């Protein structure tokens, strides 16, 4: 089994696990995860969104601002550990960029 297929086979279980970890705790119980603070950082590069429309076919697209079409940033990246927002220099902020969390996190400098 190719690594990609193996990863896809684990996807359903990973989704269930992360849904449990992200869910609110019942009253009177200890949370599964500690509370975390939102963070914000500037990123001067480009973000790429990757897809796999068919077996053996991969695509890559540079994310653009929905208002001005800018792709180079610098982006203001804000995250509350549920959503990632990208802020463009033109002032538009969006979370509808289609990026996976890892496609953002792995590019950012150490904070």
pLDDT tens figures, 49-101: 888 888 989 998 899 999 999 998 899 999 887 889 999 999 999 988 888 87
pTM to 2 decimal places: 0.62
**Residue 34 scores a pLDDT above 70:** no
Distance CA 94, CA 109 (A): 21
Cβ atoms 90, 80 nearer than 8 A: no
Instruction: Give the pLDDT confidence score for residue 28 in this predicted structure.
Output: 78
Beta-ladder partners of 40: 78
Considering just the CA atoms, what is the radius of gyration of the chain in Å?
A: 17
97-110: average pLDDT: 78
Burial degree of 43 (CB within 10 A; 0-12, 13-18, 19+): middle
Residue of 100 and 30 predicted with greater confidence: 100
Instruction: Give the pLDDT confidence score for residue 69 in this predicted structure.
Output: 93
Residue of 4 and 61 predicted with greater confidence: 61
The average confidence (pLDDT) of the chain is 83
């Amino acid at each position: 089994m190719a690594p990609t297929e193996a990863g896809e086979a684990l996807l359903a279980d990973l989704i269930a696990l992360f849904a449990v970890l992200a869910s609110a705790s019942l009253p009177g119980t200890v949370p599964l995860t500690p509370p975390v603070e939102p963070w914000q950082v500037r990123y001067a590069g480009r973000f790429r969104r990757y897809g796999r429309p068919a077996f053996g076919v991969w695509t890559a697209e540079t994310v653009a601002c929905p208002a001005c079409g800018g792709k180079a940033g610098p982006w203001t990246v804000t995250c509350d550990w549920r959503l990632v927002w990208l802020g463009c220099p033109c002032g538009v902020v969006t979370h509808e960029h289609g990026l996976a969390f890892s496609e953002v996190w792995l590019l950012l400098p150490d904070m």
